[in-house]
Structure 1
Amino acid sequence: MRRILLASLLAVMLVFWGCEKPGEEEKEVPTDGTSWEIIHTNESVLPTLYAGYISSDGQRIFLFGDKGFFAVSTDGGLTWTPDTVADMADSGYSIRCVDFADENTGVIGGDMTIYRTTDGGETWTLAASQADFGEARVRKVKYVGNGKFYAIAGANFLRSTDYGATWEVVHIDYLDSTSYGLMSFDFVDEDNGYMISSGPVNFITTDGGLTWIPERTEMGFHGYDVDAADDGTYFVCGDTTKIAYRTVSVSDTDTTVSWTTVPISPTLTHPEAYLLERIKIEGSLGIAVGNDGLVVISTDGGETWQRTDAPGTYADFSYVALAGDYALAVGVDNIRAEGFATLGTSNFSVWKGVSYGTRMELDDVVFVDEQTGFFVGKELSLFKTYDGGLTLYQRPLVAEHNVSVSGIDFGDDLHGVAVGSDGAIFTTSDGGETWTTVPEENIPYDTDIDHINKVRFVDPTTVYAVGTDIDGNGIFLRSSDAGENWEVIQTGYNVELLNLDFLSPTVGWIVGEMGTVLKTTDGGDTWERLPTGTNAGLNAVDFVDENHGWACGSFAILKTTDGGQNWQIAQIEDNLFALFHDIVFVDRNTGWIVGDFGYILHTVDGGETWYRQAAGMTESDLYALYALDATHIWACGELRTILKLVP
């Protein structure tokens, strides 16, 4: 109630701000007819994902997850069409596994149900349910050829010989006297398969799953998934960071089954905290995925396994699909509480996120054209949009800590820089598809950097940034090679510096706490502190030429017409909450400010008067603005809110 009351009082005050004092004639506030629309909300966020499928050319991708959700992409994950299997959504059942016989015929398994499609996923028909195999979760489904789909659920092996239309249940009687259930299976061909349970007994079949022979296992851990190599070797992963494989040697007098356990390298610092959920082997390539972003790969047919940080995520993976040169890993990002999917290529050394949407707050935004833009935020969040902000696709960042990314900018359509906490700097040279962490030796400085807040390109290769070191000194950073190497300069002021604006490589301004405005005319070699007449923290600054500029922050909006030597302050009453986060002008007259409670203020007379736009559209705090031109402007903030100007 207090938040609503304060917001209402602020709204009333802002409407009349710019009016004359009592007793004087009221000044009319000019407007221009522009408005805003919300283009991204929580409805655009992926739910928890449990399964996925990818075609051998990497173009056709399915994602499956919570409450019957699925999404289809036909362009390698650039765009998606979300949908649900209606009956599963109504029942709250999730989709746990999938496989396709061809581009049209596929089967999904989930909570107590199996569904089938014959039109490439356009429609799904119930093929089997708990009436057939009991109240059990379908953990895996696989197409083995000649119209045969196999699956497991509880203590049952399920067979279909008509492309999933009807199913036969083969109950594993051995499990009736135990508390174990079936975890996974795989087949070398239609007849020969291997099945693992949650206990110390696995099973072998040589007749397509009609009968199963128990086999005591000596893996040394609980298995979660099994996959067969072409030569009949079965690889198993589970509640450990090791991978085991089963081989059979046959002599004239005996058949010997042996298990070999392979550790991953390099060794994890706390291996007991990790596990591997899923494993896939095709030819010489192998991949296994697990919790906390753990991905291990093999390029020698499973003889050795190496951990890779290439996916750049801390998501818990629950599924991996392998097709040709592509790997699709899906799961959930527990920090963001949203589904996560990433696509690997080039022997899984290159990965790109194909997830869309986010629940994280968005702290900065930049666009390189009307459709292509980027948003950043906490917990290593960096998203790219290809449709003007309607959908967001995560792009992986790799750092030693969960960096909060607070600033981003591009010098051209290929080269960009993102900055954040712990002095982290990331660069891209391929239009933001992949990002590289700038090593510390490329940012030489006498002490540690606490935070880099914002970054700005002033030409395609010259880029500047501002922040604070751990001693509280305001610092200015500059690069002449699009962010690959940096020089760090102390400004001489012990204050947190929050934002910057430059008109050229030599002339620019910085704003920060305690009403700080600094100006340079020599590219940042020296800085002059300009008097502002306020102690308010200033969060943003924007100049349209060397004379006309504006700044905003806590309880204040400032304007200058002489390059910052003198500032006119439009003060907000101290007893009202008015925290403004960003400001942008497209010419001397037309500008916008965003702030807490979803406030968007607009002026068409150079800041002499302001009026509120989009009142009531959102109560989310808005943190950033970006103007590509006078008609293409975006705002973003907490709770994944993105708004776009309607000219």
Structure 2
Amino acid sequence: AFNKDTCIVMSVGAPGYIFKTYNGGKTWGQKYWNPDPDIFLNSIDFWDNEKGIAVGDPCCGGFTVLVTNNQGETWSRIPIKNIPSPSEGEIQYASSNSCIAVSDSGLAWFVTGGTESRIFKTTDYGKTWKVFKTPVVNGAELSGIFSTTFYDSLTGIVAGGKYLKPSDTDNTFAITHDGGETWTQPDSMPPIGFCSCAIFPFTNDKNTILTAGLNGIAVTYNMGLTWKLLSNKSFNVIKFSDKDQFGWAAGNSGQIAKIIW
């Protein structure tokens, strides 16, 4: 949402849709439509009030990357020749709208799972891309990176694991300090195992990180050296307000929780 009246929403699966409202959701206008049975959009984000990006699984030979320069009024697809080719069985995940992250000056990243756990990076608002490997687990069904976020242009995190084995804590989390080109793992992994979402909740603290997944919510105050379990309830996504005072977590069957710090 850009304000209380203007909002963009994206559908997951085929057909691919993006809608926009100007009146707080009373009416919606269709801004993008793709009837291809292979289209599968996963995440959407905006750099500012005009420039935005949406990403999806491989379709027509390459990953789907859509960009807009007019607040979502129109969308265009980046040519697949500008994006490194996906490996066979390499996909994205849509459970938390966080397989993409954006930062200042045209930076953005999207992450993958399945047969690979890689991160794709652009420095020019999506026009061209490079790809880098991460140590997050992959290869098993519904495994890989499910979420990424960046504190700034250099410091970022990826999180995921094995959705079908959510208690497995091996290789579920990694950190970068060079904008996503190289990745290291902290001394310990989040105790919840599989992570569907990971965030920096505070704009003035890059050491505090929250992860959410099927086994609950965990927090680290020292960039992964140690972790604390905050909740054992299942959640798919977690977001904090810009004012850093509270956040929201959402899960299956309409479950919503407010987090007050």
TM-score with structure 1 setting the length: 0.28
Change (3 A) 1:595 1:376: farther
Cα deviation per residue 1:503-550 (whole Å; 9 max; x = unaligned)? xxxxxxx564349xxxxxxxxxxxxxxxxxxxx845335564799766
Percent sequence identity over aligned pairs: 18
Indicate if the aligned counterparts of 1:409 and 1:456 stay in contact, CA closer than 8 A. Answer: yes
- 1:541–1:382 distance in 2 versus 1, CA, 3 Å: same
- Closer, same or farther in 2 for the Cα pair 1:642/1:559, shift >3 Å? same
Partners of 1:391 and 1:600 in 2: CA distance: 34
Segments of structure 2 that go 5 or more residues without pairing to the other structure are 94-98, 162-167
- Aligned-pair distance for 1:582? 1.1
Check 1:580–1:381 CA distance in 2 against 1; reply closer, same or farther (3 A cut): farther
Superposition pairs of residues 460-609 of structure 1, within 5 angstroms: 460-467=105-112, 474=118, 476-478=120-122, 480=124, 482-483=125-126, 485-487=127-129, 489-491=130-132, 512-514=136-138, 537-542=144-149, 544=151, 552-554=159-161, 555-556=168-169, 558=173, 565=184, 567-570=186-189, 572=191, 578-585=193-200, 586=202, 587-588=205-206, 590-596=208-214, 599-602=216-219, 608-609=226-227
Q: Quickly say closer, same or farther: Cα 1:512–1:546, change in 2 above 3 A.
A: same
- Structure 1 residue 592, shift from structure 2 partner: 2.3
CA offset digits 1:429-471 (Å, max 9, x no partner): 2323x342415466465678854563332224343334479x8
Residue in structure 1 matched with residue 96 of structure 2 by the alignment: none
* Structural RMSD (CA): 4.8
DSSP 3-state at the match of 1:579 = coil
Q: For residue 476 of structure 1, what is the amino acid of its counterpart?
A: F
Name the structure 2 match of 1:428.
68
Shift of 1:416: 0.5
Q: Deviations over 1:357-390 (max 9, x none)?
A: xxxxxxxxxx5568866554522354667899x9
CA shift digits 1:276-331 (9 cap, x unpaired): xxxxxxxxxxxxxxxxxxxxxxxxxxxxxxxxxxxxxxxxxxxxxxxxxxxxxxxx
Structure (1 or 2) with the greater strand fraction? 1
Deviations 1:226-268 (A, max 9, x none): xxxxxxxxxxxxxxxxxxxxxxxxxxxxxxxxxxxxxxxxxxx
Aligned: 1:457 with 2:96: no
2:250 and 2:17 map into 1 onto residues whose CA distance is 14
Distance 1:642 1:387 in 2: 25
Instruction: Choose the corresponding residue for 1:622, options 232, 236, 246.
Output: 236
Structure 1 or 2, whichever has the larger Rg, is: 1
**Unaligned stretches of 5+ residues in structure 1:** 1-366, 494-509, 516-535
Q: Which amino acid aligns with 2:198?
A: I
Alignment partner, residue 525 of structure 1: none
8 Å CA contact 2:249–2:257 kept in 1: the answer is yes
For residue 403 of structure 1, what is the aligned residue in structure 2?
Answer: 39
Counterpart contact for 1:582–1:625, Cα < 8 Å:
no
CA distance in 1, matches of 2:259, 2:27: 18
- The alignment covers a number of residue pairs equal to 229
Aligned-pair distance for 1:594?
Answer: 1.6
The Cα offsets for residues 14-44 of structure 1, whole Å up to 9 and x where unpaired, read as: xxxxxxxxxxxxxxxxxxxxxxxxxxxxxxx
Matches of 2:199 and 2:37, distance apart in 1? 32
Provide closer, same or farther for how the CA distance between residues 391 and 442 of structure 1 changes in structure 2, counting only shifts above 3 A. Answer: farther
- Give the conservation status (yes or no) of the 8 Å contact 2:160–2:195: yes
Structure 1 Cα separation of the partners of residues 175 and 86 of structure 2: 35
The one-letter code matched in structure 1 to 2:217 is I
